[in-house]
Amino acid sequence: MPIVLLVVRRTLLSIVTLLLVSLIIFSMLEVLPGDVATRILGRDATPESLEVLRTELGLDRPATVRYLDWLGGLVTGDLGKSLVSSRPISEILAPRIFNTLLLSLYAFALYLPLTVIPAMLQALTRDRAPDHALSVVTLVLLSMPDFLLATILLLTFVLWIPVLPAISLVDASSSWFEYLKAMTLPALTLAIVMAVYAVRMLRDNLIEVLDSDYVRMAELKGLSRARVLLRHALPNALVPTLNVTALNLAYLIGGVVVVEKVFSYPGFGTLLVDSLQLRDLPVIEATVMIAAFVYIAANLVADIAAILLNPRLRTG
C-alpha cells in the first residue's frame, strides 16, 4: 500500500512538473527574436508576405490560445505539424526516436557491466594496485569531453584497428547487423561517459556496505565471498547509484547530441539541433517534452526501485 501511494503521489507531481516544463519552453520560444515565417521567406520578404504566411501558420493568434491548443493536442497524442516541412511531427519523430532508442538500449547494456565490474574489483581490492589503477582510469575518463572520447574511439577502431565504420548512417533499409555495427562506437562512447560517473559512487557504496555489521555476520555464518557480495552487499550499494542511473537514462534520450553529431547518427538529439536552427517551434516543443517526460519517468522508476531494493525503506 505505501508503494501504491508513492506511485500515485510521484505521478501527480510528475504531471505538474511536465505542465511547468511545457509552459516554460513555450514561453522561452515566444520571446526569441524572429519567427519561422522570417526563416522560411528570408530577409528580403515583404511585410505583406510575412503577414500572409504568419496567418497561414497560425502565428497571428494570441500566445495563450496557441499554447492551450498545443497542450490539448499533446495530451491527445496529436503533436501537430512541422512549420517548415508541413509533415506530421509524429512521422518526423518516429524514425529518430527509434534510432535513439536502439542506441540507448545498446549503450545501457554496455553501461551495466562497465559500471558494476570495475566497482566490484575496486571494492574487493581497495587501497591496492588494481584499485588505484582503476581510479586513475576513471578520473582520466571523467575529465575527458564526450567529443574527445568519441574521437579517440574513432581513431582506435577505424584507423588503427579498422573493424568499425567511421560514420553511423542507418535507415529503414539497414539490416540488424548494419545497425549493430553502426551503433557500436556511439554506444560505447555513451556507456563509458555514463559509467565513469557511477563507478566511483558504486565503489564507495560497496566499501561502506562491506564494512557493515550484517555483511560481517553473513561472512561469519560461512557464506561465500561471492554470495555475500552479490546477494547482500551489491543490492544495498546500488540504491544510492540509482539516481545517477536515472540521470544517465535521461541523458541517453536528450543529451546525445554531441555523440550523434560526431558519428553522424540520425537520432533524436540531432533532430533537436536541426529544429532549433530552423526555428521549427512545434518540433522543438515536442522533442523537449519527450526528453522531459523520459527524465521524470526515469527518476520515478529510480525512486520505486530504491524502495524495492532496500528493505529498510520498504518497512519505513
Of 18, 40, 75, the last residue of a domain is 75
Do 168 and 70 sit in the same domain of this protein? no
Q: Which residues contact 261 (CB under 8 A, 6 or more apart)?
A: 269, 270, 273
Quick check: is 128 in a domain?
yes
Q: Over 80: is that where the pLDDT of 42 sits?
A: no
CA–chain centroid gap for 264, Å, is 18
Q: Over 80: is that where the pLDDT of 266 sits?
A: yes
**Number of domains present in the structure of the chain:** 2
- The residue assigned the cell 505583406 is 48
Mean of pLDDT values over 51-77 = 82
Cβ burial 115-143 (10 Å sphere, 16+ → b, else e) = bbebbbbbbeebeeeebeebbeebeeeee
Q: What is the pLDDT of residues 98-139, one digit of tens each?
A: 888 888 889 989 998 999 899 888 888 888 898 899 999 998
Quick check: is 82 in a domain?
no
Q: How confident is the model at residue 267 (pLDDT cuts 50, 70, 90)?
A: confident
Alpha-carbon span 32 to 70, nearest angstrom: 18
Alpha-carbon span 36 to 290, nearest angstrom: 22
Q: Which three cell numbers stand for residue 226?
A: 561471492
Whether 39 contacts 278, CB under 8 Å: yes
Mean of pLDDT values over 170-182 = 84
Q: What percent of the chain clears pLDDT 70, i.e. is strictly above it?
A: 88
Three-state DSSP at 233 gives helix
Of 49, 75, 101, the last residue of a domain is 75
Do 59 and 149 sit in the same domain of this protein? no
First to last CA, the chain: 12
What pLDDT does residue 280 have? Answer: 80
Quick check: is 104 in a domain?
yes
Alpha-carbon span 80 to 69, nearest angstrom: 10
Do 168 and 287 sit in the same domain of this protein? yes
Alpha-carbon span 88 to 310, nearest angstrom: 45
More confident residue, 135 or 250: 135
What pLDDT does residue 76 have? Answer: 85
Phi, psi of 88 (to 5 degrees): -60, 135
Phi, psi of 188 (to 5 degrees): -65, -40
Do 14 and 153 sit in the same domain of this protein? no
Q: Domain range spanning residue 228?
A: 90-315
More confident residue, 312 or 47: 47
Do 35 and 135 sit in the same domain of this protein? no
Residue 220 is part of a domain; what is its CATH number?
1.10.3720.10
Do 43 and 181 sit in the same domain of this protein? no
What pLDDT does residue 114 have? Answer: 92
Of the listed ranges 114-118, 170-174, 307-311, the least confidently predicted one is 307-311
The listed range with the strongest mean pLDDT (48-62, 74-88, 190-204) is: 190-204
- Helices within the chain (DSSP H only): 2-31, 36-41, 47-57, 63-75, 89-124, 129-142, 146-154, 176-210, 213-220, 225-227, 234-254, 257-263, 268-278, 281-309, 311-315
Quick check: is 84 in a domain?
no
Do 43 and 165 sit in the same domain of this protein? no
Do 144 and 50 sit in the same domain of this protein? no
Three-state DSSP at 31 gives helix
Quick check: is 80 in a domain?
no
Do 99 and 205 sit in the same domain of this protein? yes
Quick check: is 257 in a domain?
yes
Alpha-carbon span 96 to 127, nearest angstrom: 45
Do 21 and 110 sit in the same domain of this protein? no
Q: What percent of the chain clears pLDDT 90, i.e. is strictly above it?
A: 10
What pLDDT does residue 234 have? Answer: 78
Do 48 and 159 sit in the same domain of this protein? no
Quick check: is 83 in a domain?
no
Quick check: is 85 in a domain?
no
Do 180 and 38 sit in the same domain of this protein? no
